[in-house]
């Protein structure tokens, strides 16, 4: 006996914590440079194409810019769905000014690598390689338009309020990532 066909609802895809961080840094850089910041920014995806990501907030913050995104995992039961993913961006003041540099920092709720064997060195913020590339690309898109030919030298701090609590529901503690969640994503999208 044949089973009756099931109606399948199209599941909604979302975006990764890496995409959220890339959007937040773009808003934070615009605030740092005191440029108009739109309510939605375009983030280039690693495999081509882009996503429009709404900013939750953006503002100047001391010597830097601050912005955040609310992560949307679509219909995926992701522990970070609805989480605030924020970024603070400020200039690197010392070192070789002719060399382009982006320094990543783990803010509140972002884990640090404590065991060898992962894609990142021990002690590094748990911001995986593809999200780091996406963040650099988002920063570069703004920087190169404003300062063509001038090396980009920026500090980037990713912040996830309640990230340490969320991380308890992930594999991070067993992998040796302590203090918060990892900023992940290989495609920039979350597919349920």
pLDDT at 10: 86
Statement: 14-187 belongs to CATH 3.30.2110.10: yes
- For the stretch 85-140, pLDDT in tens is 999 999 998 777 778 899 999 999 999 999 999 999 999 999 999 999 999 999 99
Measured CA to CA in angstroms, residue 43 lies from 49, 54, 78, 96, 138 at distances of 9, 10, 21, 29, 7
CB 167 within 8 A of CB 173: yes
State residue 3's pLDDT score.
47
Compute the C-alpha angle 14/20/25, nearest 5°: 160
- Is residue 4 pLDDT above 80, yes or no? no
Task: Please give the pLDDT value at position 94.
Answer: 79
The overall average pLDDT reported for the chain is 94
Confidence of residue 54 (pLDDT cuts 50, 70, 90): very high
């Amino acid at each position: 006996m044949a089973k009756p066909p099931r109606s399948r609802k199209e599941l909604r895809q979302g975006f990764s914590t890496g995409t959220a961080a890339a959007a937040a840094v773009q808003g934070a850089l615009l605030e740092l440079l005191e440029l108009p910041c739109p309510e939605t920014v375009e983030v280039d995806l690693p495999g081509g194409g882009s996503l429009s990501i709404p900013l939750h907030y953006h503002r100047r913050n001391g010597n830097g810019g601050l912005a955040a995104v609310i992560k949307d995992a679509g219909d995926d039961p992701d522990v970070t769905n609805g989480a605030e993913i924020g970024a603070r961006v400020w200039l690197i003041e010392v070192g070789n000014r002719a060399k382009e540099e982006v320094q990543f920092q783990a803010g509140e709720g972002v884990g640090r690598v404590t065991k060898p064997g992962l894609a990142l060195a021990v002690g590094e913020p748990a911001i995986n390689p593809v999200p780091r590339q996406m963040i650099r690309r988002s920063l570069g898109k703004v920087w190169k338009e404003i300062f063509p030919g001038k090396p980009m030298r920026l500090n980037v701090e990713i912040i996830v309020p309640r990230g340490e609590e969320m991380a308890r529901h992930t594999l991070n503690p067993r992998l040796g990532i302590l203090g918060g969640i990892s900023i992940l994503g290989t495609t920039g999208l979350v597919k349920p």
